[in-house]
Amino acid sequence: MLLDVQDSQLLLIDYQTRLMPSIFQAPEVVANAVRLARVAALLKVPVWATEENPAGLGGTAPELLKEIEAARGRVLPKMQFSAVADGLAEALRPEAKPAAGNARSLPKHLQKPTQAAPQRNTIIVAGCETHVCMMQTALDLLDDEFDVVIVTDASSSRTERNRDAAFDRLAGAGAELVTTEMVAFEWLRGADHPQFKAVLGLIK
C-alpha cells in the first residue's frame, strides 16, 4: 500500500550531537533526515522528534533542529529507550474536542456529540540508534496499532551489523522498510502536485 500524505506523521528519533559522531554513515543519515523534515514541511505533514537524556547526549543536531522548527514540529525529551513509554503515543493521537456550541448547563442528551480529532495513523520513523531507541519505539507503536514505516537510509547505529539486525527484526514485526525518496514520491503521487518541483529540488 502506498503512503498517504494525509494519514502520515514523521517521527525523527535521537539525532543528538554527542551521539552522531559515533554513528555509522552519520552525514548521509542526517542529510536524509533533513530532507524528510523539509518535505514534511512542504506537504504539511506533522513532524515529531525525540531526544534521549538530552543532558547527557546533547540536543538535536543543529541542521536538523532548524528544519524541525521550520516545520513547526515538536521535540520530546525522554529518558526511556522507547518514546512510547514517555507518552509519545498519546501525543500522536490527539484528544477528541468538544463540539462547538455546547453549553455546560444543557443536559447531556441535548449537547452535541464530541467531535473525533482527525487521526494520522501512519508513522514514518527514522532515527538512531536503530537497534535501541528507534527499534523499541517502533515496536511499541506497532503494539499500539499504528502503521509503522521505517526510513532505512535516514536511520543507523554505531555498527552496520546492529543497524541491519534491527531492520530485519522490524520487518518481521510488521513494519515496512522504505527510503527517503520513496516517502517523498509516494506523498506526492504525481508530477502534477503543486509542490513537485520544490520536493524534486530537495531530493536532487
Q: Please, which pLDDT band fits residue 119 given cuts at 50, 70 and 90?
A: confident
Per-residue confidence (pLDDT) for residue 104, from 0 to 100: 57
The per-residue pLDDT for range 131-176, each reduced to its tens digit, is 999 999 999 999 999 999 999 999 999 999 999 999 999 999 999 9
Per-residue confidence (pLDDT) for residue 2, from 0 to 100: 96
Which residue in the list 4, 7, 44, 78 is annotated as catalytic? 78
The per-residue pLDDT for range 65-110, each reduced to its tens digit, is 999 999 999 999 999 999 999 999 999 997 765 555 555 556 665 6
- The whole-chain average pLDDT of the chain stands at 92
Per-residue confidence (pLDDT) for residue 150, from 0 to 100: 98
Q: Which domains does the chain have, with CATH numbers?
A: 5-93+118-203 (3.40.50.850)
Q: How far apart are CA 59 and CA 139, in angstroms?
A: 24
Q: What is the mean pLDDT of residues 177-183?
A: 98
* All residues at 6 or more sequence positions from 49 whose CB lies less than 8 Å from its CB, including other chains: 11, 12, 13, 15, 60, 64, 65, 68, 73, 74, 75, 76
* All residues at 6 or more sequence positions from 160 whose CB lies less than 8 Å from its CB, including other chains: 24
Which residue in the list 14, 140, 147, 153 is annotated as catalytic? 14
Report percent pLDDT > 90 for the chain: 86
* 78 carries an active-site annotation: yes
* 14 carries an active-site annotation: yes
pTM (predicted TM-score):
0.89
- Which H/E stretch holds residue 169? helix 160-173
Report percent pLDDT > 70 for the chain: 88
* 66 carries an active-site annotation: no
Q: How far apart are the first and last CA of the chain?
A: 25
149 near 125, Cβ under 8 Å?
Answer: yes
Which residue in the list 86, 128, 133, 140 is annotated as catalytic? 133
Per-residue confidence (pLDDT) for residue 97, from 0 to 100: 59
